[in-house]
Structure 1
């Protein structure tokens, strides 16, 4: 009886087992390296809370894009944010930046450069403070951003102040 040994096929052509093993090892290394590179730049941010302060639940996090831009969503680390521990990861929309004027009026309008962007101070009582304590006008300093959620009961810059650029983890791109 004659033993028939099948030769492997690589890209439709007859090959050797050594060449097939080399191609498989090369593909595996390239795939793992690509996944590692993507993993250092991108991540997933999911808001699993019952009471959401933003219109999205799932985001792609770009850790290489750490330059804040007004209108975009960003993830950052909490610093002196009262109910959040320092270092907790938060996500909000940056609505004002350097030289913008932010004002909270008596009718609880949050205005950026005289344009109303949000309303409400629903969480003032949670901090055992009067709503009037948060009212006033300020100009945003260089390197700082005013960050808001999209609801009136979002715990954000109207209660704990601005986010400094050194707190930024990266830009968030909404998925859904």
Structure 2
């Protein structure tokens, strides 16, 4: 083997463990998420989830395990939604609007899902206060099935903060 090939082989042997170490660190902290449903609740098509960051603020995207008993989704499924309300926030919503601490959010209404699931729209005129250890999550499309239907999520079910990639 000529000296240049030996040098190149030595560089590759040195770089490979470094690249492996960096990739392993990335994978241990982050995961890519692609929504599995055709009826997405968020506009983005792919997300990066930081599993080490669970410090969620209002407006952040949050990845979580669905821990509710629900006839439409299995317990333990993963979701990504917008953190609309945090502990002690006041949420007021109707099928057409949602307010957090008296500020109106620009979130699509609930009528599409209410009609598709044949639900009683009168059940979705509510005023609630989010508990300290919970987060009220919503989607941004007409297809979103979220906390307006099944209540807030517990902070213990958070996987991490999510970021829309595209």
Shorter-chain TM-score category?
Answer: 0.7 to 0.9
Counterpart for residue 12 of structure 1? none
1:161 aligns with 2:131: no
User: Are the counterparts in 2 of residues 63 and 171 from structure 1 also a CA contact under 8 Å?
Assistant: yes
Larger radius of gyration: 1
1:174 aligns with 2:164: yes
Distance (Å, rounded) in 1 between the aligned partners of 2:150 and 2:144: 11
**1 or 2 for the larger relative contact order (CA 8 Å, sep ≥6)?**
2
If each structure's helix is expressed as a fraction of its own residues, which one has the higher value?
2
* Match of residue 47, structure 1, among 24, 27, 35: 35
CA deviation vs aligned residue, 1:125-163 (integer Å, no higher than 9, x gap) = 555541222322111111211110102331000001001
CA deviation vs aligned residue, 1:53-102 (integer Å, no higher than 9, x gap) = 21111111111111221101111111115211111011111111111100
SS at match of 1:172: strand
Task: List runs of 5+ in structure 1 lacking aligned partners.
Answer: 10-16
Task: List runs of 5+ in structure 2 lacking aligned partners.
Answer: none
TM-score normalised per structure 1: 0.81
Task: Give the total of aligned pairs.
Answer: 163
TM-score normalised per structure 2: 0.86
User: Are the counterparts in 2 of residues 68 and 165 from structure 1 also a CA contact under 8 Å?
Assistant: no
User: Are the counterparts in 1 of residues 90 and 101 from structure 2 also a CA contact under 8 Å?
Assistant: yes
RMSD over aligned CA atoms reads 2.2
